[in-house]
Amino acid sequence: MIRRPSRRARIGQWVFLLAMLAGAWYLASNAADNLARRHIAFGFGYLANTANFDIPFSLIDFGPDDSYARALLVCVLNTLLVSAMSVVAATLIGLLVGLMRLSSNWLIRNIGLAYIELVRNTPILVQIIFWYVAVLHNLPGPRQSLHLPLGVLLNVRGFYLPVPVMAPWSRAASLLALLLVVASPFVARLTANGKSLGKLALAMPVLAALLFAVGIDHVDAPSLTGFNVTGGVQLPPELAALWAGLSIYSGAFIAEIVRSSVQAVSQGQREAARSMGLKPSLMLFLVVLPQALRMMVPPLTSQYLNVIKSSSLGAAVAYPEIFQIFAGTVLNKSGREIETFAIVMAIFLSINLAVSAAMNAYNRRVMLMTAR
């Protein structure tokens, strides 16, 4: 039975909402009066002004003649890049270390414990600076680059990764591959509702990968040319240090989430899996982890949001993300403190709300699948 709020409760909610709006109006009018007394204009038209500075690393073209608005777009893309990379790496690290903590092997179990205790009890800013100063700055120069698997080069200037170059005719194939990836969850949902489309749902991502692979004309691999590395794509040391710091730090917390969620699965589920003759590895991935996932998602959401917010620590190693460029360089050049910080807070709020909505939707889907 659903209880409806009483009339007094509804009146109290409206009074509280009006009080919040009145407080916001008072703060806004007070700020406007103070700015007017100081003869400072308020507005966001300054975003169209010429930046007159360069950004060392950007996913899209940017030059000194571009506007503050384009600089903001560059910073947002850089923030999204390091956040996405860190979320993926931290999840994989956390899953691995969390399973190590559950191992019956004494050495493996305590290696995982030592990693968690060391990383979790050290400030994240210290770890980021450690990777940047103590590790990456002590790597060899370009001519003595370290050759890693898959054609990756590592030196003091960062990582150099091979990049696939798509053929001119591959746009249609890439679009079709994207449509297959987007449509596969809907086909899987139809399968869960009783329709016989399971094989098609499994085949769609594989077909998408094949279409993407067919569209690759060649791979541009990095190589040493003279005193520099040419070809491929460069990940600067600032990005690498921030990525390593965020991933390793968040991975320690995710490892504990994985461990506690797996241990929370009923022992009867394991005994039932053993009675069916499942090996320990199959029992873990087919029986235990799917049930533990519904307990992992809510705390994982908090960790993912922390990763996104902690990307602002890239300012400590001069990585050109939102805080370092827009709340730093743009703020100093434009003198628009209120507008600049309002934009920065709005962007972080929008990103985090979008991630929260996606994770909550996935959490509801996992709970429904478990209920079935």
Q: What confidence score (pLDDT) does residue 193 get?
A: 55
**pLDDT given for residue 2 in this prediction:** 53
In three-state secondary structure terms, 58 is coil
Partners of residue 148 on adjacent β-strands: 152
User: Which residue ranges of the chain lie beneath pLDDT 70?
Assistant: 1-3, 5, 169, 181-182, 184-202, 204, 368-372
The pLDDT, as a whole number, for residue 311 is: 93
Residues 343/351, Cβ–Cβ less than 8 Å: no
Under 8 Å between Cβ of 51 and 271: no
Beta bridge partners of 159: 154, 235
Give the residue among 307, 303, 260, 266 at the shortest CA–CA distance from 288.
266
How much is the pTM? 0.83
Rounded Cα distance, 118 and 248, in Å: 11
pLDDT of residue 91: 95
pLDDT at 20: 92
| Rounded distance between C-alpha atoms, residue 24 and residue 49, angstroms | 29
pLDDT value at position 32?
A: 76
Dump strand ranges (E) for 70-191.
Answer: 146-148, 152-155, 158-161, 163-166
pLDDT at 221: 84
* Structure confidence at residue 188 (pLDDT): 61
How far is it, in rounded angstroms, from Cα 77 to Cα 109?
38
Structure confidence at residue 38 (pLDDT) = 78
CA pair distance 365, 372, nearest whole angstrom: 11
pLDDT of residue 186: 66
Provide the token pair at 38.
Answer: 């100081």
Residue with the two structure tokens 């699948």:
369
Place of tokens 């370009």: 142
What is each CA distance from 343 to 66, 218, 331, in whole angstroms? 19, 41, 11
Structure tokens at 28: 């806004």
